[in-house]
Amino acid sequence: MARKHLVLTILLLVISLSFNSGCGSGSANVTPTPDPSIVWADDFEDGDYEGWEEDDPGWYVKEGVLTSGPDSANPIIHESNVAAGTWSFDLNFDNASYYSICLSCDQDFRNGFGINTVTMDNTLVALNTITDGTFRSPAAEADLGKKLTGWNHFDITRDASGNSKIYLDGELVLEYKDDVTISPQLFFLDVEDLGLAFDNLVVRDQVIAIQP
Ligand SMILES: [Ca+2]
Ligand SMILES: [Ca+2]
């Protein structure tokens, strides 16, 4: 009986050890729960920009990054039905003077809101609106007091009342309230130079808390 008990104890110990180690490796591989507020996103890691449209060629994907050029710079558009929520993305400023982004525009670009950046001595970040075809650029503007270089992360939030906030690397740089009513259809990106780069776009239909 004692021998049988010992065998049973060893067997239970072996089962227990393998169960624990199995749980350990399993918990390291848990797939994160998808964020239900994300409406669409693109990180270009698959090497293409399928889903984006351009009238004239002006973009290509290089090492998982949407890049302007190689021969010309032109606007690029993606369908997007979000007018209130959070837009997050990275812009590269090594070759940058000008990015213009309509975060939410209607089909004919008669109503919308977006941002642009201009790099001169300093980098300016502006919030723009289009109301019944009338363009306000800038509707509000912030001089960052420094020239941006390399990759910088932007988050822009806009609530249903038209209150918007622009965050650069998690820090609030501009706030504005517009009264534009948008029937959201399009996300629009334009640049004036070659070699400008855009990545890690996430579009949410909820205003999220932005962390530094
Ligand atoms: Ca793709
Ligand atoms: Ca990427």
Distance separating alpha carbons of residues 166 and 207, to the nearest angstrom: 12
Neighbours of ion ligand 2 (CB under 5 A): 43-45, 64, 199
Phi, psi dihedrals of residue 7, rounded to the nearest 5°: -60, -45
pLDDT per residue as tens digits for the range 7-48: 555 545 444 544 444 444 445 677 888 899 999 999 999 999
Read off the pTM: 0.85
User: Exposed, middle or buried by CB within 10 Å (0-12, 13-18, 19+), for 129?
Assistant: buried
The predicted-structure confidence for 134-191, as pLDDT tens digits, reads as follows 999 999 999 999 999 999 999 999 999 999 999 999 999 999 999 999 999 999 999 9
pLDDT of residue 31: 80
Q: Is 126 exposed, middle or buried (0-12, 13-18, 19+ CB in 10 A)?
A: buried
Judged by its nearest atom, the ligand closest to the C-alpha of residue 41 is 1
Spacing, Cα 61 to ligand 2 middle (Å): 9
Query: Residue 6 — very low, low, confident or very high, per pLDDT cuts 50/70/90?
Result: low
64 alpha carbon, closest ligand? 2
- The contacts of residue 210 (CB under 8 Å, 6+ apart) are 86, 155, 157, 165, 167, 170, 172
* Cα–ligand 1 centroid distance for 134 (angstroms): 34
